[in-house]
């Protein structure tokens, strides 16, 4: 589909093929903080190693959002479709701040466990 991102299988395997994973969509809430409110979607997974993986996207607009997690993470990393990752500095324990979504493109984050 033009203008929409697809996620390479290798990236999905590296993020999710780590033993047992559970869906945890109720463990995240998305709040539009600026821009046009579209139709934000998200899926949160918890891995058996304590890490969490979040996919967030919007199909109709490009808003800026905050994502609140019920389970704290130690650090957040944004994962690019080419398999690279980088620390996301707008993360503070439970809240991923100032995430600009681009319509039709998925943003992927991995959260390391919070070791207290």
Q: What is the pLDDT of residues 31-75, one digit of tens each?
A: 999 999 888 899 999 988 888 889 899 999 999 999 999 998 889
Band of pLDDT at residue 1, cut at 50, 70 and 90? very low
Q: What is the pTM of this model?
A: 0.85
Domains present along the chain, CATH in parentheses: 9-113 (2.60.40)
How far is 95 from 72, CA to CA, in rounded Å?
8
Q: Rounded to the nearest 5°, which phi and psi values hold at 102?
A: -105, 125
Per-residue pLDDT of 66-116, as tens digits, reads 999 999 888 998 887 777 888 898 898 899 999 999 998 889 898 888 765
How far is 74 from 69, CA to CA, in rounded Å?
12
């Amino acid at each position: 589909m033009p203008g929409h991102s697809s996620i390479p299988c290798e990236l999905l395997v590296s993020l999710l093929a780590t033993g047992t994973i559970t869906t945890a969509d109720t463990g995240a809430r998305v709040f539009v903080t600026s821009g046009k409110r579209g139709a934000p979607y998200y899926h949160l997974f918890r891995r058996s190693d304590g890490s969490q993986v979040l996919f967030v996207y919007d199909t109709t607009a490009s808003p800026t959002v905050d994502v609140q997690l019920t389970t704290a993470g130690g650090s957040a990393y944004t994962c690019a479709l080419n398999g690279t990752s980088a620390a996301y500095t707008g993360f503070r324990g439970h809240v991923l701040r100032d995430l600009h979504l681009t319509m039709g493109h998925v943003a992927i984050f991995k959260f390391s466990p919070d070791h207290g």
